[in-house]
Amino acid sequence: MLDEPKDFIGYLMSQLINRQLEDPNLESRVKGWKMTVVLATDYYPVTLTFNKGVRFAKGAASDATLTVEMSFGTIIRLVMEETSTIKAFLKGEIKAKGMFRHPMAMKRFYGLLNAALKG
């Protein structure tokens, strides 16, 4: 379902999300999603295109449904469960553009991200 990106963050995200998609229920739900999410880290942005699956590409798509900004350090803190997406969001460590226009996309992506980072 996923191709293998050549960059670190894209590869990492693809591996983590791939693990989640081993659950056939989630996989079939995700296959129905149609959205483009830019994960803008302090290293560089990656674009996740959900369209009958997920594709990863380095760089920021100009037509993103959502742009989620967070540092790689925040990703690590989420993994360590030193913070949660909600807490980080309230503290401004995660910023999201497009969430009011696309609340469903936001809910889906955060849900997937949370699950992926917690393994």
Closest CB 84 distance from other proteins, rounded Å:
15
Give dist(CA 64, CA 58) in Å, integer.
Answer: 13
Q: Is 95 in the site for other proteins (CB under 8 A)?
A: no
CA atoms within 13 A on the CB side of 59: 4
Q: Which amino acid is at 58?
A: K
Q: Is 97 in the site for other proteins (CB under 8 A)?
A: no
Stretch that binds other proteins, among 1-9, 32-40, 48-56, 104-112 (CB under 8 A): 1-9
Q: What angle do CA 24, 4, 55 make, to 5 degrees?
A: 60
Q: How many residues does the chain have?
A: 119
Encoded tokens for 67: 């742009």
Decide whether 75 or 105 has the Cβ nearer to other proteins. 75
For other proteins, the binding residue among 2, 12, 26, 115 (CB under 8 A) is 12
Task: List residues near other proteins by CB under 8 A.
Answer: 4, 6-9, 11-12, 15-16, 42-44, 58, 71-73, 75-76, 79-80, 117, 119
